[in-house]
Amino acid sequence: MDFSGKIALITGAASGMGAATAREFTSAGGKVIIVDINPETAEKVAAEIGSQPPLIGDVSDSSFCQHAVDSVLKQHGRLDVLVNCAGTIARADALGTSDEAWRRVMAVNVNGVFYMSRAAIVPMKKQAKGAIINFGSIWGERGASGVVAYCASKGAVHQITKAMALDHVKDGIRINAVCPGEVNTPMLASERLTPPTPKDLQKLAEETVPLGRLAEPIEIARVVLFLASDAASYMTGSLVTVDAGYTAG
């Protein structure tokens, strides 16, 4: 896939699947603008891929999302691809989920996707072309115990993806979501009382994933690139599961 001359704005691109996606877009010739809340890691990834300085801010703030898109347009004159990868998790059931934790997960995972997409649609509509790829999750469809806020937020992302895809299909904008299973990222180990060891993660994979291993971030990033490319020109409103067969059973 060739993204030469294409401008991609990627949120949550300082680590994990977002960083892998930024690397893959750059390798395919695209120009990437990183958005993240963590300046140190964002600057490190930006330097690694030879990107411009990252845009540092919180995607739950609608004014920041508008600023990010405006900054891209001011510097590059267009926006071809938006990848909404920024996300957070709270590992608790309903009784263990505080109001603050609930609001934060919804603010980042749901509001952030909506605000950034809403801002990006304006220039994409003028261009009569654009691609938005949201990060959903297998837990947005199936649910899981101990992560009620995360499951609810990803279910909302799936519906945002479908509804906005239908709203803007005539505008030349394709909107899809990638829905990963278990991926070897910092989030997989975050918010746990005891961080899992590599042996713990391997046991998790063997017990839950038919393929018997965790996905690596690059394996998800490659699906994102496909959805952003013209090779996926007949796809919009799709939820693409990448889970090594977990939800097939």
Contacts of 181 (CB under 8 A, 6+ apart): 138, 209, 215, 241, 242, 243, 244, 246, 247
Q: Please, is 109 exposed, middle or buried when counting C-beta atoms within 10 Å of its C-beta (0-12, 13-18, 19+)? A: buried
Q: Does 234 qualify as catalytic in the annotation?
A: no
Q: Which two tokens stand for residue 66?
A: 């508008």
DSSP symbol at 97 = -
Residue 46 confidence (pLDDT):
98
Taken in order of first residue, the domains within the chain and their CATH numbers are 7-243 (3.40.50.720)
Residue 209 confidence (pLDDT):
86
Residue 202 confidence (pLDDT):
83
pLDDT tens digits, 208-219: 888 889 999 999
Pairing label, strands 130-135, 173-180:
parallel
pLDDT tens digits, 6-40: 999 999 999 999 999 999 999 999 999 999 999 99
Residue 74 confidence (pLDDT):
98
Residue 193 confidence (pLDDT):
57
Q: Catalytic residue, from 115, 150, 234, 246: name it.
A: 150
Q: Are 14 and 45 in contact (CB under 8 A)?
A: yes
pLDDT tens digits, 126-139: 999 999 999 999 99
DSSP symbol at 14 = T
pLDDT for 196 beyond 80: no
Encode 63-90: b = buried (16+ Cβ within 10 Å), e = exposed: ebbbebbeebbeeeeebbbbbbbbbbbb
